[in-house]
């Protein structure tokens, strides 16, 4: 910004020393207005990402999650914070011999974040209440409150069921940071969507359907709904994201948009 401001000031103020004071003042206001306009445009771009600022507990959760992932992968990134977490997630995909192995590893990571007895008691005592409604609402509220460090801004909302009923058991992620920073549909599906669905159903007794939107990077959690079968889930045939660096290189070679599913999915 400083070089831009300096350039504008030199151009508008000092280029014509014979101008009157009023002319110089007018020109300076014009130059300053241009700078201010560009600053406002930049700010709007930052705001559009809905950046979530980490608090003390958020950083603790981030460090804990990353340490558990590092234990499974056997490698850690030199980068601090969230950037390092994304590199470890990439390594998790690279290390696994198959996508199924990646999902199993991610489930183990999620399990390691909770005391085993807590998961067993929740599944046995809370999950059966009201046909699962109470358990679904509870985990939705906790997810919305405690997972913004990973996903970004999110809010609790309602989920409509096939029988016409509606539960307050949804979580809407405005723009998933994990998806946006990883730049990979495969990482989203195999280290987040599939293992998270499996974890809640198998270890907490709460069915979960996750619906990531690969166009605007939002995601809808629907606790209480069973996920689709793999053969029927269109998300599992997702092409590479437009921001995927590997896909961009393939498009440059082919000269067109690649509609084939992401190779990491």
Write down the pLDDT at residue 58: 95
Q: What is the pLDDT of residue 30?
A: 41
Dist CA 199 CA 104 (whole Å) = 10
| Residue 47, CA atoms < 13 Å, CB-side half-sphere | 6
Predicted confidence (pLDDT) per residue in 183-228, tens digit: 999 999 999 999 999 999 999 999 999 999 999 999 999 999 999 8
Rounded CA gap, 248 and 256, in Å? Answer: 10
2 pLDDT band, cuts 50/70/90, is: very low
Q: Which domains occur in the chain, in start order? A: 56-254 (3.30.1380)
**Which tens digit of pLDDT belongs to each residue from 143-182?**
999 999 999 999 999 999 999 999 999 999 999 999 999 9
Q: How far is CA 255 from CA 15, 217, 258, in A?
A: 47, 25, 9
CA distance 55 to 174: 19
Structure tokens at 55: 């608090």
**Other beta carbons within 10 Å of 85:** 23
**Is the per-residue pLDDT at 263 higher than 80?**
no
Q: Which residues contact 214 (CB under 8 A, 6 or more apart)?
A: 179, 185, 188, 238, 241
Distances (CA, A) of 110 to 20, 70, 103, 145: 70, 13, 11, 17
pLDDT number for residue 83: 96
Global pTM exceeds 0.85: no
Q: Six-digit token pair at 102?
A: 């990646």
Half-sphere exposure of 95 (CA within 13 A, CB side): 20
Q: What is the pLDDT of residues 79-135, one digit of tens each?
A: 999 999 999 999 999 999 999 999 999 999 999 999 999 999 999 999 999 999 999
> Which of the four pLDDT bands, split at 50, 70 and 90, describes residue 253?
low
Q: How many CB atoms lie within 10 A of CB 103?
A: 22
The token pair at 124 is 């046995």
Distance CA(135)–CA(122), nearest Å, equals 8
pLDDT of residue 193: 98
Could you read off the pLDDT of 33-88 as tens digits, one per residue?
A: 444 444 334 333 334 455 788 999 999 999 999 999 999 999 999 999 999 999 99
């Amino acid at each position: 910004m400083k070089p831009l401001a300096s350039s504008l000031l030199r151009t508008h103020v000092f280029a014509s020393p014979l101008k009157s004071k009023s002319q110089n003042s007018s020109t300076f206001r014009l130059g300053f207005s241009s700078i201010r306009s560009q600053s406002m445009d930049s700010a709007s771009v930052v705001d559009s990402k809905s950046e979530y600022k980490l608090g003390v507990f958020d950083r603790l959760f981030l460090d804990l999650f990353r340490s558990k992932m590092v234990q499974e992968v056997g490698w850690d990134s030199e980068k601090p914070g969230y950037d390092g977490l994304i590199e470890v997630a990439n390594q998790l995909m690279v290390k696994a011999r198959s996508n199924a192995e990646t999902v199993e590893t991610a489930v183990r990571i999620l399990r390691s974040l909770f005391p085993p007895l807590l998961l067993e008691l929740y599944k046995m005592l809370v999950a059966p209440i009201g046909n699962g409604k109470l358990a679904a609402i509870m985990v939705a509220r906790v997810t919305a409150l405690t997972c913004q460090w990973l996903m970004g801004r999110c809010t609790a909302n309602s989920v409509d069921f096939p029988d016409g009923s509606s539960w307050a058991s949804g979580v809407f992620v405005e723009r998933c940071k994990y998806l946006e920073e990883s730049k990979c549909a495969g990482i989203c599906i195999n280290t987040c969507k599939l293992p998270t669905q499996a974890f809640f159903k198998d270890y907490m007794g709460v069915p979960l359907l996750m619906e990531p939107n690969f166009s605007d990077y939002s995601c809808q959690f629907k606790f209480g709904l069973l996920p689709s079968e793999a053969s029927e889930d269109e998300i599992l045939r997702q092409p590479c994201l437009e921001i995927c660096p590997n896909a961009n290189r393939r498009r440059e070679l082919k000269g067109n948009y690649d509609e084939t599913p992401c190779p990491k999915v």
